[in-house]
Amino acid sequence: MSIVRTFVLSMCLLLIAADIHCGPIRRGAKKRNVMIQRVSICQLGDDSFKTIGEYFGHKKEHPYFRCIARDNENIRAGAYFVVGFNKSITLLPGEIFVKIYVLTSLRDGVLSFKCRVPDHRHVLVSEIYCGITSMPMDIRNLKAWKVELIDKNDKVLCSQQSYMWQ
């Protein structure tokens, strides 16, 4: 019986230590320090997001180990900005958006797209796939870009831009 008591006591102490260590990080937004580390751009087709479950008749897309945000959630194929962070995206606030500004030509000017990030509290990754799917875009024609992570009040949490954006 003493082995069980010792085990239970050690587990309680471990949980208390974990709460003391991680509690302030979860509570304070200033202490999170989640920043964009890298942005890569790629062209992804519809098949890049198909899962084995969809081949067996499931209609709903399941992102599994990815956080996917699109400006048009009904279309999968498009230009994707893969935004990588220095920490897990579970530390980000609940309701966030990614705003993408792109310059493809001087004739078109700066185009902006806003993607709502789905519930990301269960995804233990440090990147978000942000897709511009509402219009066809060839990533070879991108001259400059800027990516902002904003909250529901349009406050910029962090941002990253290409060298040419300046």
Q: Are strands 156-161 and 144-151 parallel, antiparallel or unpaired?
A: antiparallel
CB-based contact 121:94 (threshold 8 Å): yes
Q: Is residue 20 predicted with pLDDT exceeding 90?
A: no
The total of other beta-carbon atoms located within 10 Å of residue 17's CB is 10
Tens digit of each residue's pLDDT (9 = 90 or more) over 41-90: 999 988 787 777 777 776 666 666 788 899 998 898 999 999 999 988 88
CA distance 49 to 46: 6
Residues 146-155: what's their mean pLDDT?
Answer: 92
Output the pLDDT for position 140. Answer: 87
Q: Could you tell me how many residues make up the chain?
A: 166
pTM: 0.75
Q: Is residue 94 predicted with pLDDT exceeding 90?
A: no
Tens digit of each residue's pLDDT (9 = 90 or more) over 108-150: 789 999 999 887 777 778 899 999 999 988 888 889 999 999 9
Q: Is residue 16 predicted with pLDDT exceeding 50?
A: yes
DSSP 115-146: EE----TT---SEEEEEE-SS---GGG--EEE
Output the pLDDT for position 64. Answer: 65
CB-based contact 58:89 (threshold 8 Å): no
